[in-house]
Chains A and B, each alone.
Chain A
Amino acid sequence: GDSVTQMEGPVTLSEEAFLTINCTYTATGYPSLFWYVQYPGEGLQLLLKATKADDKGSNKGFEATYRKETTSFHLEKGSVQVSDSAVYFCALSASPGAGSYQLTFGKGTKLSVIP
């Protein structure tokens, strides 16, 4: 079945450092890929998405590129802020035509940014 593997946390960075959180997936066909974020005390929010190979999703300075050849969707940000401290989840949903598009999530990576 479909699965998502993402970098184990926790990750602690200083403010303005470069962030990479690795995510790889296993799925048939051409799934859609997502990064969700959960800020302390809040619900899951979509951060960015990409629906086909070589698409780049971006939002709030975060970027991720859908790499079909390496089955990866790594999250990056050039300069993190304290307000980016949260748990980040990589997720996928099935290829078009599957009929059911529930999300399959990774285990999450907790990011702490210190001033």
Chain B
Amino acid sequence: GAGVSQTPSNKVTEKGKYVELRCDPISGHTALYWYRQSLGQGPEFLIYFQGTGAADDSGLPNDRFFAVRPEGSVSTLKIQRTERGDSAVYLCASSLFGTAISSTDTQYFGPGTRLTVL
């Protein structure tokens, strides 16, 4: 498919466990974003990659959260020692250039991974 894909679609884990969430962006998109959406809220920014590097990680809530994008395409969001408050839908988006001023540079979102921490 041509869109952003995320796996798994659902993840249930126990408090204290480690989880990895994967994002496969649209081919050729240099910018990749992670967001977190809690129930009844809008998505909140976590981290932004331009190529392989994390250009802005100011949204990561604490050092239990980490993300990588080693080859500039697929990204993995890693959460250590999960807590019940981490339960949310984790969204990934990609865009061609990573700017907002071009009429063609839209962020395209994946379907999300619903994480439930018991």
Contacts and interface: CB of A to CB of B under 8 A. Distances in A.
Interface in A4-60: 4, 31-32, 36, 42-46, 49, 51
A83 interface: no
20 contacts: A32-B101, A36-B109, A42-B111, A43-B110, A44-B43, A46-B106, A49-B106, A99-B56, A100-B56, A101-B31, A101-B48, A101-B98, A102-B45, A103-B45, A103-B93, A104-B45, A105-B42, A105-B43, A106-B42, A107-B40
Given A51-B103, A96-B99, A100-B56, A43 B112 contact: yes
Given A89-B42, A93-B100, A94-B100, A103 B107 contact: yes
Interface of A: 4, 31-32, 36, 42-46, 49, 51, 89, 91, 93-94, 96, 99-108
Interface centre among B41, B55, B91, B101 (most CB of A within 10 A): B101
Contacts of B35: 102-103
Nearest to B58: A100
Given A46-B106, A108-B41, A51 B100 contact: yes
Interface centre among A42, A94, A99, A107 (most CB of B within 10 A): A99
Contacts of B56: 99-100, 102
Contacts of B55: 99-100
